Amino acid sequence: MIKKGIIMIVWMLGALTSAAEDKYHISASAPETVTLGRQFRVVFEINTRSGKFIPPDFSNFDILMGPSTSYSQSTEIINGKISSHISYTYTYILQPKTVGTFTIAPAKLKIKGQVIESNALKITVVKGAASPATQGNAPAAGSSQSKITTTSSNSGLFVKVLVDKTRVYQGEAVVVTVKIYSRVNLTGLEEVDIPEFNGFLKQEIPTPELRSLQREYINGVAYGTGVIQRYLLFPQTTGDIKIDPAKVVCLVRERVHISSDPFFDDFFGNYRTVRKTILSNRVTIHVDPLPAGAPPGFKGAVGTFGLDASVDKTTLKANDAVTLKVKISGNGNLKLIEPPKVEFPPDFETYDPKITTRINNTVHGETGYKQFEFLMIPRHAGKYRIPSVEFSYFDPSSKAYKILKTPAFTLNVLKGDQTETGQVIAGGGQEALKYLGKDIRYIYSKPIKLKPAGYTLFGTWKFYLVYILSLFFFLLTIIIRNRYLKSKGDIQRVRNRKANKMARKRLKTAGQFLKKENQSGFYEEVLKAVWGYLSDKLSLPLSDLTRETAAETLKKQNVEKDTIEKLIRVIDQCEFARYAPESSTGPMDKLYEEAVSVISELEEKL
């Protein structure tokens, strides 16, 4: 028995080694044709549990479920030969969005530095019913897919819109919870349609994604319950405000009976996924108006609040900035709170407040704070008093208005640049001030030049002088421009004028080659300078220029014979040197001087 056990262990190790040596591969399968509105499965099969699986893009389809994974391994021993097979599958339940032919790109498997791809899938989505053979993969034992139907809500599956209170004051927060109840095999939510909440200011409460249901008993019956979403609502009008029903489309897994024998159904029963549409109850909120007797500074704040204020300095110089911070914190309609009114001293320069908001939306209401930072700049020295800031709100719990006040602040402003000492000034408006720091205008003592009333420049000698000068400069500009355009249009004249400049530029380049003892570059630049100069001056293209044509044309231009011979000698020496270079730079220096000399002589004659 021990010997047989050892042999069996050796066989199993051999099977595992053989499986490890197999080549990794991934395959994809799906129906070629599906019907619009029906589900189908896409299955990716991998022969290893290692590596990272990367699914393709399913943008043309709705993912109803997935990926669901399964794993299987089998080992066979036939005539002493051991074989092992590992299968790891990823299954997606998809539904097409529209009719057409779509391609699902290959899935990828990253393993041991390799990237392995599956086959691509081509799926055609058609309208109407399709034959069972083309409607999807063959169902596994114990399950099946069927056309999704739509039914109304029932006692086993329903959704509710719950509110923490049904009678509130205008501006008081209402917590709304959309909650689902189920006694069926609920596999997912396909669509959730939340009402608009007309008549309310809506704030969403962060709600975790619904992944599982919690057991809850209602009238002694156990339900699986889950919160879909929570909101904070602040009523903006009075009277009865109705909240429309919420609509939820659920995916429910139901058993399909294929036989009259209960035992056979329990053992071989099929399942189908059915779409059920359920509607919530309609909710009515009665909103009472705020009671009469609101304080003068009331701006609609409802809740429970606290007030705090501070200044960053109480002693400063004129023209320095100081900041007054007013912080309102608590629980209520914080987002709707407006900046409080602050009475600043008359000659304080002020700006719009900087508003900082830190608000959390919870089932207990809208909590946090709103801070207003008022920047102000005193322009004169003195002692100034900033009166207390008032904030009023309505408290629903006590059903009364409340007023909060901050302490008053006294600022000691010292004398700064170009300021005068002031007196103790109480807060007030500054609408009438237009020139801060310039309320005293001194007498202007310098002489001024007076003009007769009704005096105008038109018709005087100055007017006509300016008119004549403007016309003269206008005509002069036109004449200069026409001459410039005419000279630019005479290409021959332009080339003739620039010939000497271009020749000297090339000779300068040749001089640089001479210093570097670069014979090839030197002779080439000298030839370009000479031939380019002759072409521009004689208005002959380079293709027509030869020693003979150049000498003949120069002779016609009354150029001296010695100058022509010197020119031909420079050309001959350059061309000879290009093909029979010398090691010494002595001839190059002499040739360079002759080239400069002959071009200068030609420039005087032409």
Q: What pLDDT was estimated at residue 18?
A: 43
The answer as to whether 523 is a domain residue is: yes
The answer as to whether 178 is a domain residue is: yes
Q: What pLDDT was estimated at residue 243?
A: 93
**164 shares its domain with 101:** no
Give 10's contacts (C-beta < 8 A, 6+ positions apart).
Answer: none
Q: Whose CA is closest to 93, among 153, 31, 155?
A: 31
**283 shares its domain with 319:** no
Q: Whose CA is closest to 166, among 244, 246, 245, 241?
A: 241
Is-above-0.75 flag for pTM?
no
Q: What is the SS3 assignment for 530?
A: helix
121: CATH: 2.60.40.10
Q: What pLDDT was estimated at residue 587?
A: 75
* Average pLDDT, consecutive stretches of 10 residues, N- to C-terminus, the chain (606 residues): 52 46 77 84 84 87 80 62 72 87 90 87 74 35 38 70 93 94 89 90 91 85 91 93 93 73 52 89 93 91 94 91 94 91 89 92 92 92 92 93 93 74 44 46 68 72 87 91 70 64 82 83 84 81 80 83 85 77 65 84 76
The answer as to whether 20 is a domain residue is: yes
**175 shares its domain with 119:** no
Q: What is the SS3 assignment for 141?
A: coil
**228 shares its domain with 329:** no
The answer as to whether 470 is a domain residue is: no
583: CATH: 1.20.120
**273 shares its domain with 175:** yes
* Domain limit, last residue, from 399, 414, 429: 414
Q: What is the SS3 assignment for 14?
A: helix
Q: Whose CA is closest to 99, among 46, 36, 154?
A: 36
Q: What pLDDT was estimated at residue 3?
A: 52
385: CATH: 2.60.40.740
Q: What is the SS3 assignment for 168?
A: strand
**173 shares its domain with 251:** yes
The answer as to whether 468 is a domain residue is: no
Q: Which letter, b or e, does each residue of 285-310 get, where b requires 16 or more Cβ atoms within 10 Å of its Cβ?
A: bebeebeeeeeeebebbbbbbebebe
**29 shares its domain with 73:** yes
**Sign of the dihedral through C-alpha 141, 145, 149, 155:** positive
Name the E strands within 354-496: 354-362, 365-378, 382-386, 390-395, 400-405, 409-414
**273 shares its domain with 228:** yes
Q: What pLDDT was estimated at residue 81?
A: 61
**345 shares its domain with 245:** no
State both tokens at 320. Answer: 């320095």
**282 shares its domain with 310:** no
Q: What pLDDT was estimated at residue 372?
A: 95
The answer as to whether 471 is a domain residue is: no
Q: What pLDDT was estimated at residue 4?
A: 53
**130 shares its domain with 242:** no
Q: Whose CA is closest to 147, among 39, 234, 50?
A: 39
Cβ-in-10-Å burial (0-12, 13-18, 19+) of 470 comes to exposed
The answer as to whether 42 is a domain residue is: yes
Indicate the residue type of 173. A
The answer as to whether 479 is a domain residue is: no
The tally of domains found in the chain comes to: 4
Q: What pLDDT was estimated at residue 472?
A: 92
Q: What pLDDT was estimated at residue 164?
A: 92
**390 shares its domain with 271:** no
Question: pLDDT per residue over 499-552, tens digit each?
Answer: 777 788 888 888 888 888 888 888 888 888 888 888 887 777 877 778 888 888
* Domain limit, last residue, from 260, 287, 314: 287
State both tokens at 423. Answer: 């007196």
* Domain limit, last residue, from 252, 287, 322: 287
Which domain does 263 fall in, by range? 157-287
Q: What pLDDT was estimated at residue 77?
A: 60
Query: CA–CA distance from 178 to each of 154, 202, 224, 229 (Å)?
Result: 17, 14, 14, 5
d(Cα 309, Cα 390) in Å, to the nearest integer?
A: 10
Q: What pLDDT was estimated at residue 25?
A: 80
